[in-house]
Amino acid sequence: MTSIRSTASEMSAALAAGTITSVELTEAHFARIEDVDSDVHAFLYLDKAGALAQAAESDAKRSRGEAQSPLSGVPLALKDLLTQKGIPTTCGSKMLEGWRPPYDSTVVAKLKSAGVVILGKTNMDEFAMGSSTENSAYGPSHNPWDLTRIPGGSGGGSAAAIAAFEAPLAIGSDTGGSIRQPAAVTGTVGVKPTYGGVSRYGLIAFSSSLDQAGPCARTVLDAALLHEVIAGHDERDSTSINAPVPQVVKAAKKLDIKGMKIGVVKELQGDGFQAGVLERFHDGLDALVSAGAELVEVSCPTFDYALAAYYLIAPSECSSNLARFDSMRYGIRVGDDGVRGAEEIMNLTRHEGFGPEVKRRIILGTYALSSGYYDAYYGSAQKVRTLLMRDFNAAFAQADVLVSPTAPTTAFKIGAIEDPLAMYLNDIATIPVNMAGIGGMSLPCGLAPEDGLPVGFQIMAPAMRDDLMYQVGGALEATLLAKWGAPILDLAPVLAAK
């Protein structure tokens, strides 16, 4: 029997068999959202009329016997930084409050073409800057495992929607871990594709050399199905890779990793990592060995400098990208009383429109790019980036994929971390992937014994070999599921009765 707790692939099969319609499935998810989202706050905007129209169109095509994509009629939640024509797109910021884009992003256009039903826009840290969704101008999202805790960031709304069974699929974006870290702390699956593997056209930019949209789901196969829908070359994105999309669905179904070499990154465990996180990570390693893989330890010494280099490169690009929100061309306008000049209006608008974390990063990035400091800061950070790539290349010469914990801790309490530097450390294991432009996945590997909260297992693959991380992820998921006897989200204590 199909329910909101079914996987996306199960929903797809039920739609194909005619045991449920897309309209019924969509209505069931809106009912779930009405029941729980006042607690979770995963969504910033719901497009009920538009979603039901999309669902009805999918049902009509199916009744006429027209060819359907595997995810046609399946509902999805969309992170609020991808433009959708006529639908409010805020990036979690007051700066874009009320803005309705006149065009679809390429990702949204692909979703619509595939018949995927877009339920609405999900909450996020403002302009994707954060690890907890606490930086949203519209209030934090809450972790369905414990409503007093964060669901990760910046894409906490998308991960929370999936974990709370408000949607079976979601789209996130990952600049330094914003898909994978929320997946880790909510017990879901999140994938950052190879940079350039999914078009950035219509994805409102934070850091253009790092940003990458990707799939969020409850299973590896569901993530793969969504990955194949949104991936592919796009002439409107100059960074888009003109190459065939890796066969990630086929890889996710393979479940065979006998003889594969798994590189365990020495630098991404130990100091700073919660004991229970490391315990569950090693359980995941044991599961890979039991499935026939071989473990090899690899060392990537420059990973120790990745965080510092990232927080020069990303803010520098942010200060450039967010300069467009000047009250003259984009965003809100504050203080335009017919008396004030343009410069004063611009200052008032940016003061009111941007939150503290965005201002912090703009200031940091502007300083790093300023005359006399460019080479010392931004230039040096780019050199570190090159060394990171060399470390990855050397590691991949020894192993098919690399693995680590996704996040150093489980979900922390909302308001528990006030120091920005302490917050940045949440991305210590995910940032190297973005710096190198390769693919990364997080999937659940159990619950930490200290607090009973989910732990994420990260798999990293060479550029344009995203199929390898799906192959390893699918096998690990199947091995752990056989051990647990039930999906990990069935163990979540919160919202279970609703």
Q: Examine the residue annotation and report whether 371 is marked as an active-site residue of this protein.
A: no
CA pair distance 288, 294, nearest whole angstrom:
8
**Can you say whether residue 21 is alpha, beta or left, with left for phi > 0 and alpha for psi between -120 and 50 degrees?**
beta
Quote the CA–CA distance of 427 and 405 in Å, as a whole number: 11
Residue among 178, 240, 327, 404 flagged as catalytic = 178
Backbone dihedral region of 120: left (phi > 0), alpha (psi from -120 to 50 degrees) or beta? left
Catalytic residue among 79, 110, 121, 192: 79
Give the span between the Cα atoms of 352 and 349, in whole angstroms: 5
Asked if 173 is an active-site residue, the reply is: no
Distances in Å between the Cα of 390 and the Cα atoms of 196, 309, 384, 396, 436 are 19, 15, 10, 10, 9
Beta strand spans in 75-163 (E): 75-79, 117-122
Instruction: Indicate the Cα dihedral angle 407, 410, 415, 417, nearest 10°.
Output: -50
What is d(CA 223, CA 87) in angstroms, rounded to the nearest whole number?
25
User: Helix or strand or coil: residue 63?
Assistant: helix
Which residue among the candidates 9, 12, 154, 240 is catalytic per the annotation?
154
The secondary element (H helix, E strand) that includes residue 445 is strand 439-447
How far is it, in rounded angstroms, from Cα 410 to Cα 145?
11
Residue with tokens 């690990």: 476
483 is catalytic: no
Beta-carbon-side half-sphere exposure of residue 384 (alpha carbons within 13 Å): 23
Where would I find the H helices in 401-462?
A: 420-424, 431-436
Catalogue the active-site residues.
79, 154, 178
